[in-house]
Structure 1
């Protein structure tokens, strides 16, 4: 045992290269796991934001329709006695101000006393689009 502790030969070049190669592989695996987690976080954050935008727009529009005395629909433009909602580009506008962004589709259809509203978010590269549809019945 004492002879082993007194061995002062040092580390050979082959041992050093082997240790560096193993260390490099371990660091590569750890960094790949970290980058994968980072991409997942960004993807899920975008998906949550898109879903939140769709829910918020739907809540605002349905509240406004329920409060309104008159509601008219013409070519996916919803007009109440107080406000107007329409899709321009990828944004839903309430009158002249932006209500929400990253919207792919805003569809409004009126059949007698039934109004069907559909809002679909833009898909990102990892997740599919979020879609909400609601039916509102107008009582007179």
Structure 2
């Protein structure tokens, strides 16, 4: 099992790559590590935070795709109908954009620190963008 350390604002998490369910997406994400960006609150999807990655699409197949990630699940939307992004659910999410419903590849799941997810979500909602970093163990 491949683990990723995540620092988001003042919070720390450990997540596992879903390598059997989303092998291509996980391999692509590994090439991005260490990865540092800003985490902002979603606009249409519910209780989630996202990392906007611009209009450059990533050539990823649909694997382990979902529109409703559970709290602690990260999904990678490779672009196309909306901009490329990574989304983290901290509560109920119905992944969408201004164009309507979307699905993304569930590739990463928080396994330590899940109790902090609602606190992180509220902080991002009320205090704005937070730094987030992903590093391989």
Which band: TM-score by shorter chain? under 0.3
Q: TM-score, normalised by structure 2?
A: 0.26
Report the structure number with the largest CA radius of gyration: 1
With a CA cutoff of 8 Å and minimum separation of 6, indicate the structure with the bigger relative contact order.
Answer: 2
Structure (1/2) with the larger strand percentage: 2
- Tell me which protein shows more helix as a share of its residues: 1
